[in-house]
A = this chain, B = another copy of it.
Amino acid sequence: MLPEEKILHTKNAKSLHAIQSGVENSNRIALSADCVIFGFDENKLKVLLIRSDLKKYLGKWSLLGDLVFPKEDLAAAAYRILKQRTGLSDVYLEQVHTFGAVNRHPAGRVVTVTYCTLINVQHHKINILDNELHWHDIKSVKELAFDHQQIFETCLKQLQKRVQEHPLGFNLLPKKFSLRDLQNLYEAILDIKMDRRNFRKKFFSMDLLIDLNEMEQDVPHRPGKLYKFNFEKYEQKNKKWVGIDF
C-alpha cells in the first residue's frame, strides 16, 4: 500500500479496505495475454498457431499466449509474447476482448486479454518455430485448445468488421499491390465475392491509392498496374461516421 493512500474515515472505508487488502493478498488472479495474428498468403487468410503444451489438449492447436507479469503493462505483455514466440516486433497489436470464465483454463483461474493484428506473411519472417508455430488457413481452424476457438472466432468477426471501416488490409499486402491483390484480400477476409468493376470504382473514388506507374511482373496473363496506399492522405481525412442502420 502506497503511504499516501490513507483510508478516509467514512462509512465507505470498509470497501476501500477490502480493495486494498484484495490487491495485496487473496483476491489476485492470473492474467494472460493471447495474440491472434492474422496473415495473408496464397490468397488465403491465415492465423498463427502453436501446439498446446497441456496434456489435456494434447495435439490441439492454440493461440500465442503467456502470463502478464505484475509490473508489466498489459499491452507490453502482448508485445513481449509476440516477440518471444515469433521474433516479430514491428507490428501494431489491438485489444479485442477479455475472456474470464472461471474454468476456462485447466491450470486454475486465468483471465486472458486478447490482442489481434494483421501482418504481411512475406515481409515478416517468423524465425522461432517452437511448438510447431506456423500459419493455418482460417478455414481449417477448429477445435482449438482451451476456449481459443471462441477467442479466434471473436477476433475474426471483429476483423471482418474493422477491415471495412479502416484501411487495415494494406498491412497484409506487399508495399506494391494490384487491385486484384486487394480484392482477393477483401474476399478472403470477408468470405464473399465482389464485382470487380464496382470494387475498383469504390477504391478509386476513395482516392487513397497512389498509382506507381509500374506493372506486375511474371504473371501468366496481362499484368495489372501496381499501387500503394496513401496513408498520409487517409490520416488527414478523419472521417466520422453518421448513419443509423440496423
Give the B-binding residues of A (Cβ under 8 A).
1-2, 4-8, 10-13, 15-16, 18-20, 22-24, 26-32, 53-56, 58, 66-75, 95, 97-102, 105-111, 113, 130-131, 161, 163-167, 186, 190, 192, 202, 206, 234, 239, 241-246
Contacts and interface: CB of A to CB of B under 8 A. Distances in A.
Contacts of A190: 242
Contacts of A106: 2, 4-5
Contact of A4 (B55, B101, B105, B186): B55
A23 B105 CA distance: 10
Contact of A246 (B31, B58, B239, B242): B239
Nearest to A77: B100
Given A28-B29, A73-B101, A167-B246, 11 more contacts: A2-B106, A5-B54, A11-B130, A23-B109, A24-B108, A27-B30, A27-B68, A28-B31, A31-B31, A31-B100, A163-B244
